[in-house]
Amino acid sequence: MDWVTSLTILLGLLVFFMALGLPVAVAFLGVNIVGSILFLGGGIGLGQLVRNAAASLTNFSLAPIPLFLLMGEILFHSGLAFRAIEATNRLISRVPGRLSVVTVAGGTIFSTLSGSSLANTAMLGSTLLPDMLKRGYHPSIAMGPIMATGGIAMLIPPSALAVLLGSLAGISISQLLIAGIIPGLMMSAVFLAYIVTRCVLNPTLAPAGDDGLANLDFWDRVRPFLIYVVPLFGIFVAVVGSMLAGWATPTESAAIGCAASLVAAACYRSLTVEALKTALMETTKISVMILFIIVASITFSQILSFSGATRGLLALIEGAEVSTLTVLLLMLLVLLFLGAFMDQISMIMVTLPFFVPLAELVGIDLLWLGVMMLICMEVSFMTPPFGLLIFVMKGVAPPHITLRQVYTAAAPFILLQILVLALILAYPGLATWLPELAAGLR
């Protein structure tokens, strides 16, 4: 069987199973069973499928995923994240589009403590959106920043998706986590500039008003920030600083973050048995889903290799003698296209078996590629028709908000994210400088 037929069968089956509405992990598992029979020797292949499943789940590099998720869930369900947002709200005043600015600032702060974009968006939406709409904010300037800032959790450590991507692509997890810091902060800066500029040009989008904050003295506005934000930011410093200095592996730094989150919640008297139970259950649900998908991804990559599909595609591209930039642009376009229809983990599973050997063939830095893949997946979170953050936003928005309004709110921020992607593409140092600096300091 030639490689084109093999690839058509495997991808065709995958699309067919997903079209039936099967969960992603089950769809890939079905393709793996058929592929094992066809390309890995029947019964021997099925045995290999079982061995791959066991080996993939005993990979120590995946340990940070549940730990990073638990860290954010503890802060979320203990209520500390909400206190941090309120403290940020009191600190910021006399700025055009003030509550939208608070959304970006507070959401970025929570992104440094949570590995989940969905939790970040749900928290910001339930906390700030009702008040923004009640005060007369236009839905686009109210919902857009919430969705856009929620996605930053994918870039800024602790990011569970970055850990997954690094583990499957063979990229240093600590370097990939550190590499996301500058692009993540760039996203926040671009969002803030856009909000302020748009509200200056059209003040009706965000009615002015400091909600009595102008009457507070400086200490009354700053004190909540010092009490509820600065200590929590210390958790981020402990997690990232330990990796930057080379004192801890990603797994160890994630454990430090979990322990620090528990201590913080206890010190603020917010750690209840119910909150801890909910945090553990939510972490378990998400972790099991991710690990189940990883089980399927390992064998899928192997089947693609044994079927000749990977080698055939690489030979085709090598024979075409296309430039490195062209190959990279095609990769990013494929990711942006898939993002409109697939979830982020599915995108990783489908593309990595091709992208990693292709990047090595044409000389693309895998760390640079990894950061751009994370940005593409952040864009896909807001891309119609199936962006997950769009549906989270619709779920927490008042009933009168239509899906069309949510799409409209997301559109300008998608363009801003693509702008940051273009800057990372043009200036690779924006992604690689900080990891290289950290490596030089060790």
Q: Please list the rounded mean pLDDT of every run of 10 residues in the chain (442 residues).
A: 79 81 78 82 74 73 83 84 81 82 86 75 80 86 89 84 85 90 93 93 79 68 85 84 82 88 89 89 83 74 74 74 86 84 76 86 91 91 79 82 88 94 94 85 59
Claim to verify: residue 4 and residue 42 sit in the same structural domain = yes
| pLDDT attached to residue 228 | 85
C-beta atoms surrounding 227 within 10 Å: 14
Same domain, 66 and 38: no
Domain boundary among the residues 261, 285, 307 is at 307
Residue 209: per-residue pLDDT: 62
Q: Is residue 169, in this structure, part of any structural domain at all?
A: yes
pLDDT reported for residue 40: 74
Whether omega for the bond prior to residue 158 falls within 30 degrees of 0, making it cis, is: yes
Residues 122 and 208 in one domain: yes
Name residue 147's amino acid: M
Place of tokens 């430090």: 256
Read off the pTM. 0.84
pLDDT at 212: 60
**413 part of a folded domain:** yes
Distances (CA, A) of 134 to 66, 120, 129, 206: 37, 22, 9, 11
**C-alpha separations of 124 from 117, 269, 294, 365, 383 in Å:** 11, 22, 30, 35, 19
Determine the Cα–Cα distance for residues 378 and 210; give it in Å rounded to an integer.
32
Whole-number pLDDT of residue 419: 95
- Structural domain containing residue 302: 1-58+294-307
Q: Is the same domain home to 211 and 251?
A: yes
Domain co-membership, 18 together with 112: no
Residues 235 and 160 in one domain: yes
> Rounded CA gap, 64 and 252, in Å?
8
Q: How far apart are alpha carbons 216 and 218 in whole angstroms?
A: 7
Is 412 within 8 Å of 144 (Cβ atoms)? yes
Residue 334's contacts (CB-CB under 8 Å, 6 or more residues apart) are 351
Distance between CA atoms of residues 391 and 114, nearest Å: 20
Residues 326 and 299 in one domain: no
Domain match, 123 and 13 both = no
- Residue 441's alpha-carbon distances to 12, 183, 438, in angstroms, are 48, 21, 5
For 415, counting Cβ atoms within 10 Å of its Cβ (0-12 exposed, 13-18 middle, 19+ buried), the class is exposed
pLDDT of residue 115: 67
pLDDT at 151: 82
